[in-house]
Structure 1
């Protein structure tokens, strides 16, 4: 006798239905579990790949940031060297101007200007008496008043400073605009 024959007839259909339902539920549960494992593995693999991509992006960003920082530091060094050289030139010019001012103030040096060739006061190109500083044959010259000479030196000093500042600005613009 079989187990199936022991079940009363009206309940046999119910037993078969419950058995089929249990098999369907068991197969669905096992399929669900297998799918969960597979999708879990796929999600884990995607998460790992995503983390690797993010890591590579972070490394590339850090490398680019280091490169830009190195460029900035190199530019700062070039500008510092340029600034030092322009400051040295400016201080040399200022020292020369101060020395010339001192020499003008002590009458060690006198500034003079050429007289016009059509000037009737000059008369001839040869000086009447040679000076102790040297004999210069040529156009007649007139010495400037020391106060006027100081003003002229002040004007040329400001002009020299302006030209040096302009050269420094142009060097800065060149250094910033040309990529290296």
Structure 2
């Protein structure tokens, strides 16, 4: 076997090349690991920022949902109060109409109309002096037949109910519009 000093030059060159390749590969691996660590930190930072953004969006959505739920609850309470108010007005009007119908039926109250004494076109002679028909503030009045009075009261009752229902609808729309 030849001594170390006797190794041919081509083998020496090959050994140096291999030694340089090993050193270069080691430094490349170190550089790769450094690059990999830097990318890993960047990815971790991006993941943390993304998670924080998602958390903020979730909190904002939850707050918006809570605000909408609070608004809906307030509207429901407001509508409930409005409904109770209009129901009370309707029942009061019905009670008053019932009392008036009862008073008309018992002849406690009579409905009358104002008459134009100067109208001669009807061919109906109306007494000019106060008599059974009564006088209110100096004008002539005639009593209505009780059956006609009952029909008039029924018509006004229906009108009152319609007005109360209209007011309830308007209040509902106003409440929704707020």
Q: Bin the TM-score by the shorter chain.
A: 0.7 to 0.9
In the alignment, which residue of structure 1 is the partner of 2:116?
Answer: 116
**1:130-178 deviation line (CA, Å, top 9, x unaligned):** 98xxx75622222112221111111101111111111111112222213
**1:63-109 deviation line (CA, Å, top 9, x unaligned):** 11111111111111111111110110011001111111122222222
In the alignment, which residue of structure 1 is the partner of 2:151?
Answer: 151
* Distance in 2, Cα, partners of 1:128 & 1:58: 85
SS at match of 1:27: helix
In the alignment, which residue of structure 1 is the partner of 2:27?
Answer: 27
Shift of 1:35: 1.1
Unaligned 5+ segments in structure 1 are none
Inter-CA distance 9–19: structure 2 relative to 1 (3 Å threshold)? same
> What TM-score results when the alignment is normalised by the length of structure 1?
0.85
Larger deviation, residues 54-63 vs 139-148: 139-148
In the alignment, which residue of structure 1 is the partner of 2:130?
Answer: 127
In the alignment, which residue of structure 1 is the partner of 2:79?
Answer: 79
* Distance in 1, Cα, partners of 2:37 & 2:173: 64
How many residue pairs get matched? 172
> What TM-score results when the alignment is normalised by the length of structure 2?
0.86
* Distance in 2, Cα, partners of 1:153 & 1:10: 129
Shift of 1:111: 1.2
